[in-house]
Chain A
Amino acid sequence: MTHLLSIVVAAPVVAAAILLCLPGSARVAVRVVSLLGATLSLAASVAVAWAYDRAAGGLQLVEDYALVPPLGIHLRLAVDGWGVPLLLLTGIIVVTGVLASWSVAKRDKDFFVLLLVLVAGVFGVFVSQDLFVFFLFYEIAVLPMYLLIGIWGASHEVPAAGPFRFAWRRFAVGGKEYAAMKLTLMLLVGSAAILVAMFLLWNEAGARTFDLAVLEGTRFSLTTQHVAFPLLWLGFGSLAGVFPFHTWSPDGHASAPTAVSMLHAGVLMKLGAFGVMRVGMVLLPDAAVVWAPAVGAVAVINILYGALCAAGQTDLKYIVAYSSVSHMGVVMLGAATMTANGWNGAVFQMFAHGIMTGLFFALVGIVYERAHTRTIARMGGFAHPLPAVAAFFTLACLSSLGLPGTAGFVAEFLVFVGAGQGAHAWWVVPGVLGAFVTAVYVLRACKTIFWGPPPTGEFAELADVRGTEWGAPLVLGASLVVFGVWPRFLLDYIDVASVAFLSRFPALP
């Protein structure tokens, strides 16, 4: 029994505990300890990828500790083929996120503590094999967000207009506290639904255990499946940004500080999609097949509606945030196809989108720190003072619209192939249309911000990327290209799990 997975999960917690003991004035030490904790997790994740036997598949690196024996709750850690790429993704985003938050000035110790706790929760979700512990980690991953956004976020006033003007004014829509509360409450409504579904499964399985392997071995009655599946879909889906429960995402991501946006859009939304697939679909195959058309149809709405919303935004962070809604639609579409290619594409899209949106938010953070504005109409010609930012932003845009050679292409291609092979081949059409709209809005944003004559006045003297800021663009940009030209490395892991999970499904119509 190795302890690699424990190290992955525990490293951020230990780092957070050390931070608590440091004085708040030790600013460098705080950052170094955070970075060390994050790096240790990433290193352990890489070791996990190394140790995982792709030929054998299944659950590996199992660790088991009893947590609440009377209820059969175990801290059971193990990783499957889907977990490996997501662990790598989380590790990469965390390390780059810590580097990107090097300049946090206000109450920086508290910031890093909360960030690390959140990260431990994310890692925990991907490696828990006990449904209950899965849920525990899920909650831990969601909750620190409230404080992270509420304290360190940036308010963005949305002008009160329309029939609900009074309510908008009352709740200060667009403000960081509004965004934090909205995000937390919407996600916790989701987790309430998950909790009810969990009880249902636990009760019906009758083995007084939350072990996913045991639950997988149980064929739940159709009634239970049809009650539990929508609960899980919408519960986890609210975190994955499933329409119409996506509205927390633009507000939350736009208000959050850079590293938190990176983590939230880059990794946390994947927790939702991962939950829908790993818990909802795999445990409840019969209901999943019946509900697939609904899941797919909503995913199509996500893709198109998210892209159109993004095209209409004037605030840079809102554009990126809505693009996440759109791209998470691709993940859900891949999941709904119920084909090996579709699922591979879905998980690969989780990885690719995580890296890409992390890169986007890191760059937006860099631009905002210099220009102090997010309104793209006020920007222009930034490529002159900020050549490196412009180059990486363009790379992210290209991955976003699915250019071959970037990770985004591989993911979207697989999803569309899967959709074509599945029961609803027409899903390909809106999917491709979404990719087209994406091209329109990302390229337009890129053009408005970076190209054109050199800026004058207040923006003339912007400084390019420097110091630790290089970390995020370099690592994330390199990952986009490396995994774009060499997707095999990750797909080998993903495929072995997808095929195994799909074998549980009844013959598809």
Chain B
Amino acid sequence: MPPWIQVFALELAVTATALVVLVCDALRPCRARTLAWFSVAALATALCTSFVVEPAGTAPHGVYAAGPWSLFFERLFLAAGILGVLGSLDWLESRVARRPAEYLFLMLMSLVGAMLLAGARDWVLLVVAFELMGIPLYVLAAYAKLDGPPGEPQLAAEAALKLYVTGAASTALTLFGLALVIGAGGSSSLAGLASPDVAPLASAGMLLVLAGFGFKLGAVPFHMWVPDTYQGAPTPFVAFLSVAPKAGGLVALVVVLLHGWPRHHELWAPALGVIAAASMVVGNLFALPQRDARRLLGYSGVAQMGYVLVAVCARSESGVAMALFFLVSYVFTNFGVFLVLHAAAENSGGHALDQITGLSRRSPWLGAALLLFVLSLAGIPFAVGFWAKLFVLLAAFEAGLVGLVVTGVVLSVVALFYYLSVARSTFMADGRSAEPVRAGLALRAAISLCLAAVLGLGLWPGPLLAQARLAAAAFGGGP
């Protein structure tokens, strides 16, 4: 075994877990419960180990660099994987009992792709990792083809098709753009485009690559698939879809722009600024009239991506650190909100806002959790989302992006309207039914983890911020 293999230790561990799950089930069909708890245990072990033995070093030809930067994301994705598996368990058992292994395998492989992104320093590895993350998602979106909640239209096929078509189109755009960029630079290294003056063709290529990433992020104007897919795909999977690939898309974007093309910022920075502002505006305004909680959260996710792009626009080390903080906050908060929604919808027969009314009466604990998550998304103090939004805007302010800051601040007030309308249907209205909401152990565990993270980091953001700064410093000083 070559010595550099240890830089991929965590990815290899997850891959091995995925293969074990698949092969075991193929040899002797296992219960979803067994496979899922095994995966969770494996991911948790990997996560804990990463705090003891920190992989560091580079792979041959400099295609991959492990260090605090990549480690930060690997940990984040491992945590997202744990939440994703835990959150899906009950649903897997009750709805798709026949084929749990494939579901877990696909989710874990998507995770491996996401984990590879942060350290990638070569276009080939980056694109392969990006597709490894993306392709399983198309399958997963269609997983519950006819198993959606009773009483709602079965939209999984439509959701998956939309995700697939836009995803494939974005890949095509990226690859076409890359052909131009690599052709101009003459190297497949990310930093291969050395000269600040690039041919017009290469600059067109860069914008095409940017557009390709924009699709994965769900940033305006590449956001059309987001609400439809969120509405149609199974909710526990949407919880995963709404965080992991978005975080993956963002880290890829950061690596490409700030590591690969820092000298070409005059070309991409204005475009990115427009995308960020448009995402905040469109996401927040389109969320206002939504009546389906999943569509509402879809548009809210578009807006959240706008905020994190603001931090990238700052093009500073502190901006990157704040973006990392924002991503962590977003992962836990959005996971939490979708999982609570899933629990509520399973018991009320739908995801419409007026179908989850009175949740706090039926289950005070879930109601309080949903309120906290929504307030965190809205950026209310003492939930982690507040610090996230604040840090991002602060970084942008330091970089002199006053226009973006004002846009962000004003729209966060607009956002409060629809976030509060979720709180209103949860808390104020008397529900249609008074039956207590039942949620399985795994789902409750996943929601509790999110709750602990949102509250804990909200009350004590210092340590995570320090970690994010460390990672950002390692990135800035990297190769």
Contacts and interface: CB of A to CB of B under 8 A. Distances in A.
A140 B382 contact: yes
10 contacts: A68-B465, A70-B465, A135-B381, A136-B382, A140-B381, A140-B382, A177-B428, A185-B413, A195-B409, A196-B409
B413 A192 contact: yes
A71 B393 CA distance: 13
Interface of B: 375, 380-382, 387, 390-391, 393-394, 397-398, 405-406, 409-410, 412-413, 416-417, 420, 423-424, 427-428, 461-462, 465-466, 469
Interface string A181-216: 100110011001001100100010000000000000
A166 B28 CA distance: 66
A203 B409 CA distance: 17
A366 B144 CA distance: 57
Contacts of B412: 192
Contacts of A196: 405-406, 409
Nearest to A143: B380
Nearest to A135: B381
Contacts of A192: 409-410, 412-413
Q: Binding site of A, secondary structure by majority: helix, strand, loop or mixed? A: helix
Interface string A101-124: 000000000000000000000000
Nearest to B398: A203
Nearest to A194: B409
Given A181-B417, A189-B413, A192-B409, A70 B469 contact: yes
A139 B381 CA distance: 7
A143 B390 CA distance: 17
A146 interface: yes
Contacts of A188: 413, 416
A33 to B, nearest CB: 18
Nearest to A193: B409
A348 B169 CA distance: 67
Contact of B394 (A66, A71, A146, A189): A71
Contacts of A151: 427-428
A185 B417 contact: yes
Nearest to B361: A107
Contacts of B381: 135-136, 139-140
**CB-CB nearest 4 A-B residue pairs:** A192-B409, A136-B381, A139-B381, A150-B428
Nearest to A150: B428
Given A139-B381, A188-B413, A188-B416, 12 more contacts: A71-B391, A71-B394, A139-B380, A140-B382, A146-B423, A147-B427, A151-B428, A189-B413, A192-B412, A196-B405, A196-B406, A203-B398
B413 A199 contact: no
Nearest to B412: A192
Interface residues of A, number: 26
B208 to A, nearest CB: 36
Contacts of A68: 387, 461-462, 465
Contacts of B424: 150, 177
A364 B195 CA distance: 75
A199 B428 contact: no
A70 B387 CA distance: 13
Contacts of B417: 181, 185
A67 interface: yes
Interface in A262-289: none
A369 to B, nearest CB: 22
Contacts of A457: none
A69 interface: yes
Contacts of A177: 424, 428
B459 to A, nearest CB: 9
Contact of B427 (A150, A181, A184, A185): A150
Contacts of A135: 381
A216 B125 CA distance: 54
A67 B462 contact: yes
B449 to A, nearest CB: 20
B32 to A, nearest CB: 35
A69 B413 CA distance: 27
Nearest to B371: A147
Nearest to A203: B397
Contacts of A199: 393-394, 397, 405
Contacts of B428: 147, 150-151, 177
Contacts of B393: 195, 199
A195 B424 CA distance: 26
Contacts of B461: 68
B465 to A, nearest CB: 5
Given A136-B382, A185-B413, A146 B398 contact: no
B381 to A, nearest CB: 5
